[in-house]
Amino acid sequence: MLDSCVRPDPERLLRQVQAEEEFERRGRLKIFLGYSAGVGKSFRMLDEGRRRRERGEDVIVGATQLVTPPEVEAVLEKLEVIPLKTVQGSRVMDIDAILRRRPQVCLVDGLAYDNPPGSRHAKRWQDVEELLAAGICVIASVNLQYIEERREQVEKITGRTFTESVPLSFINTADEIEIVDAPPEMCLEHAGDGADGAGASPSRQRQLSELREVALLLAADVVDRQLEVYLKRNGIDQLWGAQERILVYVTPDLNGAAMIQSGQRNSDRFHGELFVIHLNDPGLTTEERATLEDNLAVARQLGAQIEPLDGEDPIESIMQFARARGITQIFVGHSTRERWWDRLWGSDLDRLIRQAEGIDVRIFPH
């Protein structure tokens, strides 16, 4: 019934072909993401390198961690390693040696290193970009605390500051991301974190558990983006992902703030997204406009995505927006109900419920 396919126009097709050619030339990037040292990222990454080598791929190790635990050492022995070089006392990846060697696959353990001043690139992840552009596939590992956009959150949890970082936009260019999950105890054992071995403090356990949650959700967001890209590439407009997306429809009404706060709480609990929409209605009185502005100020403060909608028919506009954004819950408020309510049933609220077939509709009280 609904349009699920978009007729491709020639411009778009051309762009698609160019993008695909570029995609073919470029090396593929895979990232192993861990939430803390000791989850076993390095091992998983190098072990994949070993398996690929056994399947006949030309795999080399471009960068290792400075300290390697014995099980990692054992895998490293089975792989060809291009040693790090020393520049101004820092150990850096020897990108020229790798480019000369031209392997199919290069393993980079630890993405988030700064190169010393005067290097070709300031950051190791930029070295990796160059390898990818040269058509070399890269498998890399990174820890949550080094992801720029999560740094503040991680610092709040751990109380430690980290200077080196990789931008999330780079992580998002990865063709594949794989999260290495493990119970916190495992990190404590392996990371030498509680070097005495005899269990870390409850607060350290709790920190690890929080970091773990952040990492899982980060991976979920990256996966969600990939799904969007995939659906777009395949001409599918509507998406029903795994993410809860809450849409709050605000009107010039005093209860709007409560509804927005509830939307925020719900989207927090679900780790979802919150959208607040309102109609562009030139017919509002000054007073109504002021109340609406107050409500939107609350939404802004809570970091909701706010969108004004145009259109004659509010229900039509809400539903269009909801379908396009994969909304899973619509919150409507009481003034809406009030106004609709005085009309006969079968009017706006009824239509909304009827049209929102795949979406929960939550009606808020007086």
Partner 1 sequence: MDEPTSPRPRGKLKVYLGYAAGVGKTYRMLDEGQQLKRDGVDVVVGYFEPHGRKDTIIKAQGLETVPRRKLEYRGATFEEMDSEAVLRRRPQVCLVDEFAHTNVPGSERAKRWQDVQVLLEGGIDVVTTVNVQHLESLNDQVWRASGIRVRETIPDWVIKQADEVVMFDLPPEALLNRLRRGAVYAPERAGQALQNFFKESTLVVLRELALRQTAHEVDMRQVVEEAPEPSPSAQPASPAAPLVREGQPDRILIYITADPLTAVLIRRGKRVADYLQADCFALAVRPDSELDTAPPAEREAIDKHLNFARSLHIETRVLQGDRAAEVLVEFARLHEVTQIFLARPPKRSGLSLLGRDLVQQVVRLARDMQVTIVADRHPDRVAR
List contacts with partner 1 (CB under 8 A).
Answer: 1-4, 30, 175-183, 202, 206, 209-210, 212-213, 216-217, 219-220, 223-224, 226-227, 230-231, 234, 236-238, 240-243, 262, 265-266, 269-271, 328, 334, 337, 341, 345, 349-350, 353-354, 356-366
Going by C-alpha positions, the residue among 156, 166, 73 that lies closest to residue 127 is 166
Going by C-alpha positions, the residue among 102, 51, 111, 58 that lies closest to residue 75 is 51
How remote is the C-alpha of 232 from its chain's centroid?
A: 17
| Least gap, CB of 61 to partner 1 (angstroms) | 20
Q: Residue 176 in 3-state DSSP?
A: strand
DSSP code, position 146: G
Helix ranges (H only) for 26-175 are 41-54, 70-76, 95-101, 124-133, 151-158, 168-172
Beta bridge mates, 123: 114
Nearer to partner 1 by Cβ, of 55 and 160: the residue is 55
Nearer to partner 1 by Cβ, of 284 and 361: the residue is 361
CB 177 within 8 A of CB 31: yes
Going by C-alpha positions, the residue among 85, 129, 88, 89 that lies closest to residue 106 is 129
Nearer to partner 1 by Cβ, of 99 and 361: the residue is 361
CB 62 within 8 A of CB 101: no
| Least gap, CB of 263 to partner 1 (angstroms) | 11
| Least gap, CB of 243 to partner 1 (angstroms) | 7
CA distance 91 to 277: 52
| Least gap, CB of 270 to partner 1 (angstroms) | 5
| Least gap, CB of 26 to partner 1 (angstroms) | 15
Beta bridge mates, 81: 61
Going by C-alpha positions, the residue among 262, 261, 253, 249 that lies closest to residue 317 is 249
Q: Residue 98 in 3-state DSSP?
A: helix
DSSP code, position 78: T
Nearer to partner 1 by Cβ, of 5 and 66: the residue is 5
Nearer to partner 1 by Cβ, of 149 and 293: the residue is 149
Nearer to partner 1 by Cβ, of 93 and 274: the residue is 274
Nearer to partner 1 by Cβ, of 93 and 184: the residue is 184
Nearer to partner 1 by Cβ, of 3 and 310: the residue is 3
| Least gap, CB of 86 to partner 1 (angstroms) | 35
| Least gap, CB of 121 to partner 1 (angstroms) | 27
Copy the structure tokens of residue 208.
């690890």
By the 10 Å C-beta count (0-12 exposed, 13-18 middle, 19+ buried), 110 is classed as buried
Instruction: Give the residue carrying structure tokens 């010393």.
Output: 116
| Least gap, CB of 214 to partner 1 (angstroms) | 8
